[in-house]
C-alpha cells in the first residue's frame, strides 16, 4: 500500500504542466538523436545529459526519462526503416521490421513497436514498483555458471534465424564467434587475433558488424540485381495504422516479450540482447503464419521490441535497489542521479522516496508521451521510403557511415564497416543468413567470459555447471531445445497420420 | 524555464559563441578524450569544456573522441600527429599507464608533456558483511595461506583494481603471481558477485561501493588513500593497519610532445585557473570527484614514479614479460 | 535447390568457401598457439579459440563435401557496373577521410556514386545533394551534439 501511495505521489510531481513540457521536449530530442544509426540510447542520453543540467532535479529527471525513451524508440525506427540497427538490442527488430517496411507495412511495424514498448514499459514499471526488492535478491544469486547456462540457451534459439540450411547457418554463426575472439581477452588482458593492429584491440563493434552486414550489404545486393529484378519498395500498402488483425497478432508477443525482458534485464549481466533473441525465436515458433517469418511478420517486431523495452526497465531494478549500473544506459542514468548528489543504492528508496518514485512515474509518463508524439509521426517516417530508390540507398549508406564515424572516427573502423558490407553482399548472394553472425559476435564473448569466470571460482572443476540448480536447469532447457524440434517433427507426423 | 532549456540545449553552443562577454579569453582549446563518448575520460573532457568556457578561461573548447585500446590509440595520435600543437590537451589517467604496457603500445606517456593531475579516487577493498574476514590482517593471512582460495573481484585485467590486488598480495608477503583475480565488466557485475557471496573480496573505487557499505552489506577492509576519507571517516586505511599500500586512481591532462616552454606554461596556467574556479568546484561536487590537483612539474615526477611501480607489479602478476 | 546437376565438376563457390574456412581455422589456431600467457586458474585465453578453430575446420570440410555433391545455391547474374559504382563510392569515402579531405566531400562522393550505381544518370546533381547533406550533418553533429566528424580544409572553414 505504501508503494502505491508513493507512486501516486510521484505522479503528482511528474504531472505538473511544466514537467510534462520538459518530458515532451526530452522525448522529441531523444527521438531526433536516437534515429541516427550507430547512436544508441546510451549515447543519446550521454550527449543530451548537459541539456538537463540547469533544470531543477525533478524537471531534469523527467526530461531525462523522456530522452531515454525517445532514444530507444528512435533506435527501433532506424532499424525498421533503414535496416540499420543502432544498437545490438534492436537487431532482432530489424530482422522482420525492415522486411515489413519494404512491403508497405512500415506503419504497422512502427506502431506495434511503439505500442509494444508502451505495454512493456507499463508492465515493467509496475514490476519495478512492486517486485524490485524481491527480484533483486534473486538477481544477485545468479552466478557466472547460471549466466553461462542462459547464454547456451540463447545460442540454441539462434537456430531460428538459420534459414533453410543448417550448414550455412552454422558457418555464419561460427564466423561471428570468431570475430568475437578479436581483441583483448577480458580475463587475462591478452590480445587475440589482432595482428598488431591497435584499432582491433577493443574488439569488433557489434553495430559496425550489424550495420555493415545489414544496411551496406543489402544496398550492394539490391544494386547488383537491379538490372534483373528491380526491388520494389512500397511505402504504404493497406492501412498506415495497425489493423484489427495486427492487434490480434501483436498482443501476445508483447506480453511474452515483457516476460523475457524484465527479469533478464534485472540480472546484473543479463542485458537486452538475450531476451530479444529469445523473444524472436519464441514468436517464430509460436506464430500461426510461420511462412511470413523472414518476409515481415509483425510478431517478430512486436515481441523483441517489447522485450527490449522491458529489459531497459529491468536494469532499473539493480540500479535503484543496489546502485548497480548493469548496462551502459544504467551507467548514464547513474550519472543523471549523481548530478543531484543522489547515490542510488539500498538507502535511496528510504532517503529520497519522492525522487525515486518521481522518476518511476516520469518513465511512465515519458512512455505515454512517446506514443502520443510518435504515432502521428509514423506517417512522416514512412514517407521516407517514398524517396526514389537511388537516393534512399545512397542516404542509407551516408547515415550508416556517419553513425560509425560519430562513435569512432577512424578509417580502420570505416574499412571494417565496408568490408563487412561486402561480406554481407557475398553472403546474400550465396544464400547464407547474416543474422547468426551478429548473434555469434554478441553471445560468443559473453558465454566465454562467464564460463571462464565460473571455472576460475571453482578452481577448474567443470562440475560446478551441473551442481548449481540454476545452471543445470538452463542447460537442461537448452538440451531440450536442441532435441525438441526432432520430437515435434515426430509428433506432427503422428498427428498427420491420425487425421 | 523554457528559455533556459533552449539556451542550454539546442542552441547552447550557438548562443554561447554570441554571448561570451569574457572578451579577454582568447584561448581556443581542443581536448581529446581517448575513449568513446559517454565514458569516464569523456566525462572529464566534457566537464573541463564546461568549466573552461563558463568561467571565461577559454573562448572555445572542442572535445574530440579517439576511442580504443585503453586510450593508447588516442595517445599514439597525440604523440604522432599533434606534435608541437600548443592548443591540444588529452585526458588520461592511471589506467592508461597499465594499458600502454599491456597493449605493447609503441608510444608511452613519457613522450607527452605533462600538464596537470586533476582528480583522484581512492580504491577500497571490501568483503561481504557475513564474511569472517574483519581486518587487513585477516585478509593477508588468507592470501598467504592459499592465494588460490582468495577470489578477488574487480574491473578489467591490468586496471587499477587488478594492480591493487597484486600489490596487496606482494606487500603482505604472499606470492602475487598466484592471485586468483576475476575481472568483471563494470562495477555492477563485480558488486553483484560480492553480494551473492561468490567471491572473497572486491576491489573498486570507493564511490562505487559507497551505497552498499553504508547499508551494511559490505565491510571495508581498507582504503588506499594516505589518510582516512572525509566522506567515510570510519573506513580504516591500509597504512594504519600496518600494510604499506597506497594507490590512487587519478585522472590528468597531458599535451603533445614538442611544445614550447611558453605554450606549456599557458596550458598549465589555464589548468591552474580552472581548478580554482567555482565552476570546476561545482562539477567536482556534482560528479563526486575528489580534487587532486598537481601542477605540471610535480605531476611529471609523479607520473614517472607511477609508471615504474605499475610496470613492476604487472611483471610480477605475469601480465607482461 | 533447383539448380543442381546442371554443372560439371565440383561447385567452385563451395570449394572456395571451404578452403577459406579452413584457412581461417588455421589462423585462429596459430594465433592461439602463439599466446604466451595463460591463466593460472580455470581455462585460459586459448581454450575458446581452439574450440572455434575446430568448429571452423569441420565446417570447412563440410563445404568441401558439399562442393562435390549439391554445391551452394547458384547465384543469379549480378551487375558489375552497379557494384563498381557503389564500391568506388565506399572506397572514395574512406580515402577522402583517411587523406584528410574531410567528411563533407567524402559524403558527396558516397552519395553521388551510390545514386549512380542505382541507375540515376545525374551524377553532378547527386554530388551536390550529397554535399549539402554532408554539410548539414556536419553542422548538426559539430554544433549541436559536439561530436566531431573527420575534418578537412572545408570543415575547418566552418569552425
Angle at which helices A57-82 and A91-100 cross, to 10°: 50
Q: How far is CA A199 from the centre of its chain?
A: 26
Q: How many angstroms separate the most distant Cα atoms in chain C?
A: 64
* Domain boundaries along the sequence of chain B: 26-120+250-315, 121-247
Test C146 with B62 for CB contact under 8 angstroms.
yes
Q: How confident is the model at residue B49 (pLDDT cuts 50, 70, 90)?
A: confident
Q: How far apart are CA A332 and CA B31, in angstroms?
A: 21
Q: Which residues of C touch B64 (CB under 8 A)?
A: 148
Query: In this model, does residue B173 exceed pLDDT 70?
Result: yes
Query: In this model, does residue B260 exceed pLDDT 90?
Result: no
**Least CB–CB distance from C148: residue in B13, B62, B177:** B62
Cell 562513435, residue? A407
Nearest-5° Cα angle at B195, B190 to B201:
60
CB contact at 8 A, B169 and B152: no
CATH of domain B121-247: 3.40.190.10
Q: Which of A157-161, B205-209, B293-297, C23-27 has the lowest mean pLDDT?
A: A157-161
Query: In this model, does residue B25 exceed pLDDT 60?
Result: no
| Residue to test with chain B: of A28, A196, A268, most B Cβ within 10 A | A268
| B181: three-class secondary structure by DSSP | strand
| Residue to test with chain A: of C39, C61, C71, C132, most A Cβ within 10 A | C39
Test A390 with C24 for CB contact under 8 angstroms.
no
Q: How confident is the model at residue B216 (pLDDT cuts 50, 70, 90)?
A: confident
pLDDT tens digits, one per residue of B287-315: 777 888 888 888 888 888 888 888 888 88
Q: How far apart are CA A109 and CA A253, in angstroms?
A: 13
Q: How far is A232 from chain C (nearest CA, A)?
A: 13
Closest CA to A356 of A2, A1, A9: A9
Put simply, the chain B residues between 37 and 76 with a CB less than 8 A from any chain C CB are: 37, 46, 49, 62-65
Query: In this model, does residue B3 exceed pLDDT 60?
Result: no
pLDDT tens digits, one per residue of C113-124: 999 999 888 899
Q: How far is C145 from chain A (nearest CA, A)?
A: 6
In order of A222, B81, C87, the CA distances from A419 in angstroms are 17, 27, 10
Report pLDDT for B11: 35
- Compute the count of residue pairs across chains B and C with CB atoms less than 8 Å apart: 28
Report pLDDT for A255: 93
Cell numbers for C46 = 586459448
Q: How far apart are CA A337 and CA A356, in angstroms?
A: 10
Cell 559490505, residue? B218
Please, where are the H alpha helices in chain B?
A: 2-8, 12-19, 40-54, 72-81, 94-102, 136-145, 160-171, 186-195, 206-214, 261-276, 278-287, 296-317
Mean local confidence (pLDDT), C87-112 = 93
Mean local confidence (pLDDT), C23-43 = 84
Closest CA to A365 of A53, A68, A47, A36: A68
Closest CA to A441 of A229, A104, A139, A193: A193
Report pLDDT for A51: 64
Q: Which residues of B touch C148 (CB under 8 A)?
A: 62-65
Residue of B nearest to C140 (CA): B10
Q: How confident is the model at residue B140 (pLDDT cuts 50, 70, 90)?
A: very high
CA neighbours within 13 Å on the CB side: how many for A347?
12
Cell 561486402, residue? A422
Q: How far is CA A125 from the centre of its chain?
A: 18
Q: Which residues of B touch C41 (CB under 8 A)?
A: 148, 180
Q: How far is A418 from chain C (nearest CA, A)?
A: 7
Higher pLDDT: B241 or C78? It is B241
Q: How confident is the model at residue C3 (pLDDT cuts 50, 70, 90)?
A: very low
**Least CB–CB distance from A54: residue in B8, B102, B151:** B8
- Compute the count of residue pairs across chains A and B with CB atoms less than 8 Å apart: 176
**pLDDT averaged over chain B?**
81
In order of A51, A372, B108, the CA distances from A29 in angstroms are 10, 15, 40
The enclosing H or E element of A174 equals: helix A166-181
How do the pLDDT tens digits run along chain A, 499 residues long? Answer: 566 777 777 777 777 788 888 888 888 888 887 777 667 677 777 776 666 666 676 777 777 778 888 888 888 888 888 888 767 788 888 889 988 988 888 889 999 998 898 899 889 888 887 887 788 777 778 888 998 998 898 888 777 677 778 899 999 999 999 999 998 888 877 888 988 887 788 788 888 898 899 889 989 998 988 877 777 777 777 777 888 888 999 999 999 999 999 998 888 777 788 899 899 988 988 888 888 888 889 999 999 999 988 988 888 888 877 777 677 667 667 766 766 666 666 666 667 777 777 777 888 888 888 888 878 888 888 887 888 889 988 988 998 888 888 777 788 889 999 999 999 999 989 989 888 998 899 889 889 988 999 998 888 888 889 988 889 998 998 888 888 777 777 777 766 665 5
The whole domain housing A335 covers 2-498
End-to-end Cα, chain C, rounded Å: 58
Closest CA to B164 of B91, B223, B251, B233: B223
Q: How far is B215 from chain A (nearest CA, A)?
A: 6
Residue of C nearest to B6 (CA): C144
Query: In this model, does residue C6 exceed pLDDT 60?
Result: no
Test B64 with C37 for CB contact under 8 angstroms.
no
The domain total for chain A is 1
Report pLDDT for B31: 87
Contacting residues for A497 by C-beta, under 8 A, at least 6 apart = none
Q: Which residues of C touch B10 (CB under 8 A)?
A: 144
Q: Cβ of C44 under 8 Å from any chain B Cβ?
A: no
Query: In this model, does residue B102 exceed pLDDT 90?
Result: no
Cell 544464400, residue? A431
Q: Which residues of A touch C63 (CB under 8 A)?
A: 167, 171
Closest CA to A69 of A107, A132, A125: A125
Supply the DSSP string of A333-388, one letter for each residue. HHHHHHTTT---STTHHHH-HHHHHHHHHHHHHHHHHHHHHHHHHHHHHHHGGGS-
In order of A27, A117, A242, A272, A298, the CA distances from A367 in angstroms are 9, 8, 19, 18, 21
Q: How confident is the model at residue C63 (pLDDT cuts 50, 70, 90)?
A: very high
Test A407 with B288 for CB contact under 8 angstroms.
no
Query: In this model, does residue B182 exceed pLDDT 80?
Result: yes
**Least CB–CB distance from C41: residue in B14, B65, B148:** B148
CB contact at 8 A, B97 and B305: no
Burial of A289 (0-12, 13-18, 19+ CB in 10 A): exposed
Query: In this model, does residue B10 exceed pLDDT 50?
Result: no
Q: What are phi and psi for residue C119, nearest 5 degrees?
A: 95, 5
CA torsion sign for A56, A62, A64, A66 is negative
**Least CB–CB distance from C36: residue in B62, B180, B321:** B321
Mean local confidence (pLDDT), C68-88 = 86
Report pLDDT for B12: 37
CB contact at 8 A, C45 and A192: yes
Test B211 with A18 for CB contact under 8 angstroms.
no
Helices (H) and strands (E) in chain A, counts: 22, 2
The enclosing H or E element of A229 equals: none
Report pLDDT for B6: 33
Q: How far is B298 from chain C (nearest CA, A)?
A: 33
Residue range B26-120+250-315 in CATH 3.10.580.10: no
Same fold, B26-120+250-315 and B121-247: yes
Q: How far apart are CA B105 and CA B102, in angstroms?
A: 8
Q: How far apart are CA A366 and CA A39, in angstroms?
A: 20
Report pLDDT for B8: 36
| B113: three-class secondary structure by DSSP | strand
End-to-end Cα, chain A, rounded Å: 54
Q: How far is C18 from chain A (nearest CA, A)?
A: 10
pLDDT tens digits, one per residue of C139-151: 887 777 667 788 8
Mean local confidence (pLDDT), B48-54 = 84
Query: In this model, does residue C1 exceed pLDDT 60?
Result: no
Contacting residues for B3 by C-beta, under 8 A, at least 6 apart = none
CB contact at 8 A, A34 and A73: yes
Burial of A143 (0-12, 13-18, 19+ CB in 10 A): buried
Q: How confident is the model at residue B154 (pLDDT cuts 50, 70, 90)?
A: confident
Residue of A nearest to C112 (CA): A394
Chains in contact with B, where contact means 3 or more Cβ–Cβ distances below 8 Å, are A, C
| B222: three-class secondary structure by DSSP | strand
Q: What ipTM did this prediction achieve?
A: 0.91
Test C94 with A415 for CB contact under 8 angstroms.
yes
| A119: three-class secondary structure by DSSP | helix
Query: HEC states along chain C?
Result: CCCCCCCCCCCHHHHHHHHHHHHHHHHHHHHHHCCCCCCCCCCCCCHHHHHHHHHHHHHHHHHHHHHHCCCCCCCCCCCHHHHHHHHHHHHHHHHHHHCCCCHHHHHHHHHHHHHHHCCCCCHHHHHHHHHHHHHHHHHHHHHHCCCCCCCCHHHHHHC
Report pLDDT for C131: 94
Report pLDDT for C117: 92
Amino acid at each position: 500500500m505504501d508503494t502505491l501511495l508513493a507512486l501516486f505521489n510521484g505522479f503528482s510531481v511528474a504531472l505538473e504542466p511544466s514537467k510534462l513540457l520538459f518530458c515532451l521536449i526530452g522525448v522529441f530530442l531523444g527521438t531526433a538523436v536516437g534515429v541516427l544509426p550507430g547512436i544508441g540510447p546510451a549515447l543519446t542520453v550521454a550527449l543530451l545529459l548537459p541539456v538537463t543540467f540547469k533544470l531543477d532535479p525533478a524537471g531534469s529527471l523527467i526530461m531525462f526519462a523522456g530522452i531515454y525513451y525517445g532514444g530507444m524508440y528512435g533506435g527501433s525506427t532506424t532499424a525498421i526503416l533503414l535496416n540499420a540497427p543502432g544498437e545490438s538490442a534492436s537487431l532482432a527488430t530489424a530482422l522482420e521490421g525492415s522486411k515489413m517496411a519494404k512491403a508497405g507495412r512500415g506503419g504497422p511495424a512502427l506502431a506495434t513497436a511503439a505500442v509494444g514498448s508502451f505495454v512493456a514499459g507499463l508492465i515493467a514499471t509496475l514490476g519495478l514498483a512492486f517486485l524490485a526488492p524481491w527480484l533483486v535478491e534473486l538477481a544477485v544469486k545468479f552466478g557466472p555458471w547460471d549466466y553461462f547456462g542462459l547464454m547456451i540457451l540463447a545460442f540454441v534459439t539462434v537456430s531460428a534465424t538459420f534459414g533453410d540450411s543448417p550448414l550455412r547457418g552454422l558457418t555464419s554463426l561460427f564466423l561471428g564467434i570468431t570475430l568475437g575472439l578479436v581483441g583483448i581477452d577480458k580475463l587475462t588482458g591478452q590480445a587475440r587475433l589482432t595482428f598488431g593492429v591497435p584499432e582491433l584491440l577493443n574488439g569488433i563493434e557489434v553495430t559496425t558488424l550489424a550495420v555493415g552486414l545489414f544496411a551496406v550489404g543489402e544496398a550492394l545486393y539490391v544494386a547488383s540485381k537491379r538490372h534483373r529484378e528491380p526491388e520494389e519498395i512500397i511505402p504504404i500498402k493497406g492501412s498506415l495504422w495497425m489493423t484489427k488483425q495486427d492487434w490480434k497478432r501483436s498482443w501476445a508477443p508483447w506480453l511474452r516479450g515483457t516476460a523475457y525482458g524484465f527479469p533478464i534485464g534485472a540480472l546484473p549481466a543479463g542485458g537486452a540482447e538475450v531476451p530479444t533473441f529469445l523473444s524472436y525465436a519464441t514468436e517464430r515458433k509460436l506464430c500461426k503464419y510461420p511462412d511470413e517469418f523472414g518476409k515481415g511478420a509483425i510478431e517478430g517486431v512486436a515481441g523483441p521490441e517489447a522485450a527490449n523495452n522491458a529489459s531497459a526497465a529491468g536494469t532499473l531494478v539493480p540500479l535503484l535497489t543496489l546502485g548497480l549500473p548493469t548496462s551502459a544506459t544504467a551507467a548514464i542514468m547513474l550519472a543523471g542521479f549523481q548530478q543531484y548528489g543522489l547515490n542510488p543504492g539500498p538507502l535511496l528508496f528510504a532517503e529520497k522516496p519522492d525522487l525515486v518514485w518521481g522518476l518511476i512515474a516520469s518513465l511512465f509518463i515519458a512512455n505515454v508521451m512517446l506514443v502520443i508524439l510518435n504515432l502521428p509521426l509514423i506517417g512522416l517516417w514512412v514517407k521516407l521510403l517514398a524517396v526514389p530508390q537511388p537516393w534512399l540507398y545512397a542516404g542509407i549508406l551516408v547515415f550508416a557511415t556517419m553513425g560509425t564515424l560519430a562513435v569512432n572516427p577512424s578509417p580502420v573502423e570505416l574499412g571494417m564497416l565496408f568490408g563487412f558490407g561486402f561480406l554481407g553482399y557475398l553472403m546474400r548472394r550465396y544464400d547464407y543468413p547474416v543474422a547468426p553472425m551478429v548473434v555469434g559476435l554478441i553471445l560468443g564473448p559473453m558465454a566465454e567470459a562467464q564460463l571462464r569466470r565460473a571455472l576460475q571460482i571453482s578452481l577448474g572443476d567443470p562440475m560446478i555447471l551441473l551442481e548449481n540448480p540454476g545452471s543445470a536447469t538452463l542447460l537442461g532447457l537448452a538440451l531440450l531445445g536442441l532435441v525438441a524440434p526432432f520430437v515435434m517433427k515426430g509428433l506432427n507426423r503422428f498427428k498427420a497420420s491420425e487425421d | 524555464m523554457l528559455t533556459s532549456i533552449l539556451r542550454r540545449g539546442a542552441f547552447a553552443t550557438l548562443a554561447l559563441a554570441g554571448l561570451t562577454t569574457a572578451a579577454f579569453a582568447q584561448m581556443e582549446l581542443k581536448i581529446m578524450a581517448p575513449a568513446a563518448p559517454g565514458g569516464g575520460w569523456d566525462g572529464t573532457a566534457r566537464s573541463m569544456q564546461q568549466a573552461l568556457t563558463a568561467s571565461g578561461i577559454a573562448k572555445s573548447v572542442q572535445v574530440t573522441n579517439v576511442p580504443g585500446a585503453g586510450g593508447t590509440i588516442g595517445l599514439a595520435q597525440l604523440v604522432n600527429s599533434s606534435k608541437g600543437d600548443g592548443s591540444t590537451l588529452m585526458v588520461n589517467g592511471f589506467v592508461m599507464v597499465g594499458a600502454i604496457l599491456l597493449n605493447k603500445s609503441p608510444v608511452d606517456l613519457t613522450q607527452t608533456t605533462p600538464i596537470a593531475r586533476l582528480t583522484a579516487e581512492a580504491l577500497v577493498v571490501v568483503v561481504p558483511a557475513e564474511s569472517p574476514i574483519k581486518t587487513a590482517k585477516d585478509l593477508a593471512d588468507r592470501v598467504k595461506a592459499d592465494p588460490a582460495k582468495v577470489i578477488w573481484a574487480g574491473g578489467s585485467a591490468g586496471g587499477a583494481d587488478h594492480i591493487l590486488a597484486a600489490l596487496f598480495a606482494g606487500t603482505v608477503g604472499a606470492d602475487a603471481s598466484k592471485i586468483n583475480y576475476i575481472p568483471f565488466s563494470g562495477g555492477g557485475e563485480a558488486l553483484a558477485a560480492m553480494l551473492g557471496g561468490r567471491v572473497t573480496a572486491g576491489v573498486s573505487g570507493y564511490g562505487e561501493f559507497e551505497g552498499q557499505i553504508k547499508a551494511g552489506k559490505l565491510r571495508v577492509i581498507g582504503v588506499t588513500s594516505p589518510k582516512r576519507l572525509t566522506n567515510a571517516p570510519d573506513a580504516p586505511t591500509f597504512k594504519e593497519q600496518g600494510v604499506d599500500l597506497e594507490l590512487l586512481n587519478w585522472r590528468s591532462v597531458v599535451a603533445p610532445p614538442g611544445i614550447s616552454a611558453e605554450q606549456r606554461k599557458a596550458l598549465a596556467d589555464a589548468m591552474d585557473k580552472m581548478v580554482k574556479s567555482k565552476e570546476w568546484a561545482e562539477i567536482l561536487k556534482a560528479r563526486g570527484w575528489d580534487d587532486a590537483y598537481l601542477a605540471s612539474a610535480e605531476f611529471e615526477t609523479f607520473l614517472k614514479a607511477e609508471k615504474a611501480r605499475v610496470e613492476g607489479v604487472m611483471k610480477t602478476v605475469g601480465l607482461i614479460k | 535447390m533447383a539448380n543442381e546437376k546442371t554443372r560439371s565438376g565440383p561447385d567452385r563457390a563451395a570449394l572456395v568457401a571451404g578452403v577459406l574456412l579452413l584457412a581461417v581455422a588455421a589462423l585462429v589456431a596459430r594465433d592461439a598457439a602463439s599466446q604466451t600467457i595463460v591463466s593460472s586458474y580455470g581455462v585460459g585465453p586459448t581454450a575458446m579459440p581452439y574450440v572455434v578453430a575446430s568448429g571452423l575446420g569441420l565446417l570447412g570440410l563440410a563445404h568441401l563435401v558439399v562442393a562435390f555433391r549439391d554445391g551452394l545455391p547458384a547465384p543469379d547474374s549480378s551487375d558489375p557496373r552497379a557494384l563498381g559504382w557503389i564500391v568506388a563510392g565506399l572506397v572514395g569515402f574512406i580515402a577522402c577521410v583517411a587523406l584528410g579531405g574531410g567528411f563533407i566531400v567524402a559524403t558527396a562522393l558516397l552519395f553521388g556514386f551510390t545514386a549512380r550505381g542505382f541507375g540515376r544518370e545525374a551524377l553532378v546533381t547527386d554530388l551536390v545533394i550529397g554535399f549539402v547533406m554532408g554539410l548539414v550533418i556536419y553542422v548538426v553533429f559539430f554544433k549541436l551534439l559536439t561530436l566531431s566528424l573527420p575534418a578537412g580544409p572545408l570543415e575547418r572553414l566552418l569552425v
